Structure 1
Amino acid sequence: MILTRKHLPRRTFLKGIGAAVALPMLDAMAPALPSTSKKAPVRLSFVYVPNGIVMKDWTPKGEGKDFQFSRILKPLEPFREDLFILSGLDDHNGNALGDGPGDHARAGASFLTGVHPKKTAGADIQGGVSADQVAAQEIGSKTRLPSIELGCEDSRTVGNCDSGYSCAYTNSISWRTSTTPMPPEINPRLVFERLFGAEDFSLDPETRARRRQYRKSILDLVRQDTEKLVKKLGPTDRRKIDEYLSAVREIEKRIEKAEKENRELTPTIEKPAGIPVEFTDYAKLMYDLQVVAFQADLTRIGTLMIGREGSNRVYPEIGIPDPHHPLTHHRNNPDWIEKVARINCLHVELFAYFIEKLKCTQDGDGTLLDHSMIVYGSGLSDGNRHTHENLPILLVGRGDGSLKPGRHIVYKQGTPITNLYLTLLDRMGVQPEKIGDSTGELEHLTDL
């Protein structure tokens, strides 16, 4: 047998001056003999929404495969066969446990750790290692970045943000160690540079901004390398390269547009360069950055905080000028409850955008969604009462065939949400003895 296919290493980069662009999985990266081809890696992502959910508009009717989508979850109906709705999971360590007020801080800090955070507004913060970082410590060396932590709302990480709890707790769901939170990056430009560029961050911001004005597109910097590579590829790989680089360039254009808009704002508005003015544009851009990071296998683990816990963001784009957090303390006022439900709906609509992108992106023998496990949820269920039981949780994706979605599963009272994380990490080949207060793996995710 004569094998003529040229083999590219999986970690092939397009290189130029000050830039290195990773590539998506190509046919040319698989060995010439199909029987020895490598499987696509499994990706893990956590999307966090703050301040709880209007649970009567979240919880679907029916269980198993015979469930009906609720009002808030309706945007996800096209992905019915790709998702689980998981009811009954608890975050016990988000409760006071003798520490009094501070439910928002505890919700954020314990959501991925399963550990009750120390009540302090000083430097002596202490929580637990989060599930994403447990995975990153095990498999992070296989990619350019062990993990990425993204956010859509600015917040300080020091000081008192919730009844004597440090802002580090409300601002970070990802913790590398019990005393080291991983604050999310909120500026799309800086995320882009971290993924694809080589900007010198030792320079002062003014000098970096001046250099950016004269800098070419990152794709222009690697154009020569791209042209040489494309000549060696087959038609299928050429199409994949074209689609991927087009997506990268589209993100560049949106960041540049946002920077231009921000320069035109009045000086009284302080906003880091690169952040779109409209929240919906902002969230979609951060989702897209995570998609291309997964597509190019720059990382396999990500977190995205749609807002910091206790968020006071306003949503004028859907006719809600009121701050989010105070609305959740509605005291059963129907007008306020309706506004919170509309915010919840918007968040799920944006999440559906992310899922659609993953489902439409080819990856090895399937799609990114086939090879991903995406958790969406909050550390609070009822924001009015600050409850940490029966959390609103979604799990989307198939984990490369290890999950059997398309169902609403109701777990018995007292089941720790960390049992879910233990199960997902096992599907990635990461097998910690425990995560926080976990008691074992979840049942029913792999059987029909």
Structure 2
Amino acid sequence: MSFLKSRRRFLQAAAGASVLAPMSLPGLTRMAHAGTTGQAKTKVVFFVVPDGFATDSFTGGHNQGLWFPEVKDGNSTDSTNFTLNEVSQELAAYKDKSLYLQGIILGGGNAGHGGWAEVLRDRNKSQSSIDVLLGQVMPGTDPSQRSIFAGPHATDSVNWYVSWDGQNKRTPQGNPKLMFENIFGTNYSGAQAAPASSNNGTHLFDPINQDIQTLRSKLSGRERQKLDTHLDSMEQVVDDIHSSIPITAECEPVTPADNPIMSPDFRNQVQASHHQVVATSLSCGISRVATVQVGRSADQIVIKEASLYANPHDLAHRYKSEQEWKACRKWYARQAKLFLDELARHADPDVPSDSLLDHTLVVITSEMSDGAPEHQYNQPMLLVGGASGLLNSGNGSGRYFNIEQYGDRNHWKAGKQVDQQRIWATIAQAMGTSVPYGGDTSVVPNIFTNIT
């Protein structure tokens, strides 16, 4: 994506000068774009935190931790009568828009910190992640922003990133100011105009076509494929530029502060800036899909509200005090709440009388369930937001739904569990598409109002 962005800046200038002609890659078709229409268009955001949500207790009690709600009506597996737990209580302001799922397993349930490579993907880790798949069929006004990927405090040298385009790991933008400039440009001053769209029918590579063919004839099969991929990428960027349409939504982008992006002293500020840029991009209609990866698995950036010296990974492993463990887990849940606050304060681009949150589905999860045993059964999964009325969240009461009854396999400790890729298949179908995943992709019923 960084390659495409750097090329996009160059090609944007060329397009503005009417140097480039519009072009399409073989097999691609023009997609409908979002604009201010008065008709709701659902947005989807994946909010991924590291090292679990403490689903087990500090002393190791299985499923006796701080996340899953406590049901008040006996042994009900589907209830609107529940109280939130110590960590999920951080999201109490949005309880009425929430659906807490339980009974989900990621991979084999024991991938440890390796879960980052599959948390948003298929069990075989061979296909694109769900955010990329949705971005392909849910475009906004700028096709180059099909799936925004923000990575507050995630972009260190380890590169454990949760979003994938096929077999290619995507790199998130760790600097919110640079992400803003990539999306809105360096001198944003209002709605963007569509670029020039013709140059007498000439093709981008016409002036150097003979040179390209000569070069291709001298390359081996593998190297020739690399060249073709490179050229196709440039063509795709140009096509995206010419497919962009002006922003018609009433939105007010604000350039975020340029704080040190990996400093514990500015962790809250950098996180908040990422929230702001992602929410603004959605509220302007530029994109309808985004992922916010908070830190990374085995997070190393100190959270000062939890501990002045110990990193969050050590706290998740319960190497320090119980109070530090709780404070750390609560901090991540609080960031999710603050992101929901940011969505709630923006107007929807298509239905300005509604908030952005009214037409957004936010999926809050982690690459593991609990940080100490590093397991992935009984995965924390919260679906929250108005979602244009599609989310079955208890008719304004909030809802807890244990989906073990729909499990496709058994875990030796957790019992019957639903493969996490089926949640992605279910969300995809609710959004009008499907996933190309192998294995069981049957939907889980009664999560969305348009899927039975």
Q: What is the Cα deviation at residue 75 of structure 1?
A: 2.3
Q: What is the Cα deviation at residue 141 of structure 1?
A: 7.5
Q: Is the 8 A contact 1:422 1:438 kept in 2?
A: no
Q: 2:139 matched to 1:88?
A: no
Structure 2 residue matching 1:292: 3-state secondary structure: helix
Cα deviation 1:9-38 (Å, max 9, x = unaligned): xxxxxxxx99x9xxx988xx44xxxxxx5x
Q: Is the 8 A contact 1:45 1:301 kept in 2?
A: yes
Q: 2:161 matched to 1:172?
A: yes
The letter of the residue matching 1:389 is Y
Counterparts of 1:315 and 1:442, CA distance in 2: 36
1:409 paired residue number: 401
1:41 paired residue number: 41
Q: What is the Cα deviation at residue 329 of structure 1?
A: 2.4
Cα deviation 1:179-209 (Å, max 9, x = unaligned): x0111110112101111005xxxxxxxxxxx
Structure 1: state its 5+ residue gaps.
1-16, 31-36, 97-102, 118-126, 158-166, 199-216, 226-239, 263-270
**Aligned equivalent of 1:69, options 72, 84, 109:** 84
Counterparts of 1:353 and 1:156, CA distance in 2: 24
**Aligned equivalent of 2:276, options 285, 288, 313:** 288
1:356 paired residue number: 341
Structure 2 residue matching 1:218: 3-state secondary structure: coil
Q: How does 1:57-206 map to 2 (within 5 A)?
A: 57-62=66-71, 63-93=78-108, 95-96=110-111, 103-105=112-114, 107-116=115-124, 127-140=126-139, 143-144=142-143, 145-156=145-156, 167-168=158-159, 171-178=160-167, 180-197=168-185
**Aligned equivalent of 1:420, options 416, 423, 443:** 423
Counterparts of 2:85 and 2:364, CA distance in 1: 16
Distance 1:149 1:224, change over 3 A: closer
The letter of the residue matching 1:359 is A
The letter of the residue matching 2:147 is S
Q: What is the Cα deviation at residue 362 of structure 1?
A: 2.3
Q: What is the Cα deviation at residue 92 of structure 1?
A: 2.3
Counterparts of 1:89 and 1:224, CA distance in 2: 43
Distance 1:309 1:407, change over 3 A: same
Counterparts of 1:151 and 1:110, CA distance in 2: 17
Q: Is the 8 A contact 2:422 2:443 kept in 1?
A: yes
Counterparts of 2:343 and 2:140, CA distance in 1: 23
Cα deviation 1:354-404 (Å, max 9, x = unaligned): 112222322234322121111111121121111110011110123211212
Q: What is the Cα deviation at residue 68 of structure 1?
A: 0.2
1:162 paired residue number: none
Q: CA RMSD in A?
A: 3.2
Q: Is the 8 A contact 1:113 1:436 kept in 2?
A: no
Structure 2: state its 5+ residue gaps.
1-12, 17-32, 56-64, 72-77, 194-248, 405-415
Distance 1:156 1:314, change over 3 A: closer
2:363 paired residue number: 375
1:435 paired residue number: 437
Q: What is the Cα deviation at residue 326 of structure 1?
A: 2.2
Counterparts of 1:354 and 1:292, CA distance in 2: 12
Q: Is the 8 A contact 1:52 1:383 kept in 2?
A: yes
Cα deviation 1:405-438 (Å, max 9, x = unaligned): 1201111122012211111111221123x43554
Distance 1:435 1:83, change over 3 A: farther
Q: Is the 8 A contact 1:151 1:305 kept in 2?
A: yes
**Aligned equivalent of 1:311, options 274, 299, 318:** 299
2:214 paired residue number: none
Q: How does 1:210-225 map to 2 (within 5 A)?
A: 218-219=188-189, 222=190
The letter of the residue matching 2:80 is K
Q: Is the 8 A contact 1:146 1:299 kept in 2?
A: yes
The letter of the residue matching 1:76 is L
Counterparts of 2:67 and 2:388, CA distance in 1: 28
1:160 paired residue number: none
Q: What is the Cα deviation at residue 324 of structure 1?
A: 1.4
Q: What is the Cα deviation at residue 340 of structure 1?
A: 2.2
